[in-house]
Homo-oligomer: A and B are copies of this chain.
């Protein structure tokens, strides 16, 4: 391969003051687009160098002067006060006590009708006649309280500081730099100002070819506390808490014919984290906000298009209501979507969005002195090439399966100057990316026959995501499963319980995965109370379907077994009430198709106390302290596999693929374009006869790949290497 052939599909972050270096790197990496970043500017010299130009804008915090003059039109949200125990019949609560007062403030009286006071001991709301709010003290007084009960106030608060601005400001110790505020676009005046500002911006930025929205109107939920030891009081990448205000609440009631209450959002202090099973009301609210965001967003995009620019959306930060997998996303008319990625599942999350022409990934590391945990990146002691290799290894295996159109970087370009090996490595992986992209343009790679469906409470809406990054909630089994799946030769789709009830299991789905702890959105919680779901899946597996259950699949407390599909899985969990019920004393099946490639398979699994097998027919493939970790069971014409946990690794990824093949009743799939060495993976593109083999580790690896007709390829791979063989099979 000669470098001159590899050009384009790469977005480079330019930086004023470093014009020569910017253009030099653009040439080296084959960039066709130059972008600005948060905190950087592009100079005329860069803008006029013949590259496409991305400009980042964030509409809700762009006109801070207007925001400062219109603090009655800032964004709001519900909070629940910290609980107070009544020592007498009168209780005084400072609702903001414990919250970060730089972020939150109680404003005008408009919102009082939405406040609620609760006796949390009984769970009963206190009559509005029994409490009052004193504006001068900022406190709520409750009369006629029951002594020794616990009270809280749900209240609406105005946010004085946009969260991304707040985070950057405090993390980087920006001192006097202006604090940006987030305006609420639902107010007609705000809406008008946003549109006016955008039009003016388009006029003033004629060289911009792509407007990159960061993102639209509402950031994911992020409540801060005043105690540095408890700064993140609530944070979730998918929660709609910041979309609430009197105007929206009233509009919802008018449109839907019923009211949302503060408690629908506050939810006893748990709010509506994506990891929890959503209520019907909350889903209605999400859809209501999505419709508003699409409607106003489309108007913004139309302006951008009017100025002959493209409109891309960043799939992070203020992405709430955008919902790239939502019902109305296509109506925006976005030209592209950009996802920042640490992991493979995020690459699939970006790649899988319909309704845009261009899918772009912003790779890591971000060109910044330090990483997310404060470790040096582009600073003394950092090794950005190694960082980049590790991130690329995560993402590359996903790109083998599903292409995107572009990749790029973000941050301060000048920081990379002391790291020439990093500059060379980015050149290398951008060429690799372009090569893989060219294969995908001709053909899709080989996948095993039979679709795998992930069954959750969210279904398609949370395709390839459990809210946020893997490192934020590494304990969520399903995120780990998605990371494994993202690079496996498997067609994946996402189903909700509503889908099953309405349409049964789609005919092309051959395996269903249900993974997560009880009561989570991922396992399904109360959705498993549906007898229809249980009967449908029972029949479906009996007729030949495959089921993979992880952690507490189908778990819910009813009068039935704790795992509602225990009869299929062959295992159930004793949560403590079966202490005196005998458990079958199984023997271990040491050599089984599913565990074949893995030694010490019990090291891969976390023990879940109380798991037991139902009868002698269930095969236990791994166990610890007498408790099964991995089991296989036949049910009618179908098969089921149970895993007590799932933590992503190349070992568990192989285990999962084998579990999929086993439940597909297609053990032969292991001889079809699967790398014998589980630390390496491969993809085969039949049309071009291209075999791509990747080494996911820092060590040299040897492997053998077999084709379905007896073909055989042996290969040795350098650390992290991508090896491309044409006509080898």
Q: Which of A's residues lie within 8 Å of B, judged by CB?
A: 83, 85, 87, 120-123, 146-150, 221, 223, 225, 227, 229-236, 239, 268-271, 273-276, 473, 475-476, 517-520, 531, 534-536, 538-539, 542, 558-561, 567, 575-586, 616, 636
Contact = CB atoms under 8 A, between A and B. Distances in A.
Contact of A580 (B123, B275, B536, B560): B275
26 contacts: A120-B559, A121-B531, A121-B535, A122-B531, A146-B535, A147-B539, A148-B534, A148-B536, A148-B539, A221-B580, A227-B616, A229-B616, A230-B582, A230-B585, A231-B582, A232-B582, A234-B581, A234-B582, A235-B582, A236-B580, A268-B559, A268-B560, A275-B580, A276-B577, A473-B579, A476-B579
A270 B230 contact: no
A628 B40 CA distance: 44
Given A150-B560, A236-B580, A577-B519, A534 B230 contact: no
A235 B580 contact: yes
Contacts of A233: 581-582
A585 B229 contact: yes
A84 to B, nearest CB: 9
Given A518-B576, A535-B149, A584 B85 contact: no
Nearest to A576: B517
A585 B227 CA distance: 10
B558 A123 contact: yes
User: Which residue, of A235, A538, A582, has the highest number of chain B Cβ atoms within 10 A?
Assistant: A582
A519 B577 CA distance: 7
A236 B221 CA distance: 50
A234 B517 CA distance: 28
A499 B542 CA distance: 51
A148 B543 CA distance: 11
Given A85-B538, A121-B534, 4 more contacts: A87-B636, A120-B561, A230-B585, A273-B577
Contacts of A576: 275, 517-520
A691 B582 CA distance: 47
A269 B535 contact: no
A566 to B, nearest CB: 9
Nearest to A237: B580
A580 B238 CA distance: 11
Given A121-B531, A560-B120, A586-B229, A148 B517 contact: no
Nearest to A636: B87
Given A517-B576, A577-B276, A123 B616 contact: no
B120 A239 contact: no
B578 A150 contact: no
B560 A225 contact: no
Given A120-B560, A235-B582, A150 B87 contact: no
A122 B229 CA distance: 47
When A and B form their complex, which 7 residue pairs have the shortest distance between CB atoms, in order from nearest? Answer: A123-B559, A273-B580, A236-B580, A148-B535, A148-B538, A232-B582, A233-B582
Given A87-B542, A234-B580, A235-B580, A535 B273 contact: no
A611 to B, nearest CB: 14
Contacts of A146: 535
Contacts of A148: 534-536, 538-539, 542
Nearest to A271: B580
User: Which residue, of A531, A567, A579, has the highest number of chain B Cβ atoms within 10 A?
Assistant: A579
Contacts of A87: 542, 636
A153 to B, nearest CB: 16
A575 B227 CA distance: 24
B535 A225 contact: no
A501 to B, nearest CB: 14
A221 B579 CA distance: 13
A399 B579 CA distance: 30
Given A229-B584, A559-B268, A584-B229, A579 B531 contact: no
A579 B519 CA distance: 12
A543 to B, nearest CB: 10
Contacts of A270: 577-578, 581
Given A121-B560, A577-B273, A230 B519 contact: no
Nearest to A229: B585
Contacts of A473: 579
A80 to B, nearest CB: 11
A579 B239 CA distance: 13
A149 B531 contact: yes
Contact of A519 (B276, B559, B575): B575
A561 B121 CA distance: 9
Nearest to A232: B582
Contacts of A83: 567
A31 to B, nearest CB: 38
Contacts of A586: 229
Contacts of A475: 579
A519 to B, nearest CB: 6
A85 B120 CA distance: 42
A718 to B, nearest CB: 36
Contacts of A585: 229-230
Contacts of A221: 580
A122 to B, nearest CB: 5
Contacts of A122: 531
Contacts of A517: 576
A225 B542 contact: no
A230 B584 contact: yes
Contacts of A147: 535, 539
A220 to B, nearest CB: 10
Contacts of A538: 85, 148
Nearest to A233: B582
A65 to B, nearest CB: 33
A583 B275 CA distance: 17
A97 to B, nearest CB: 11
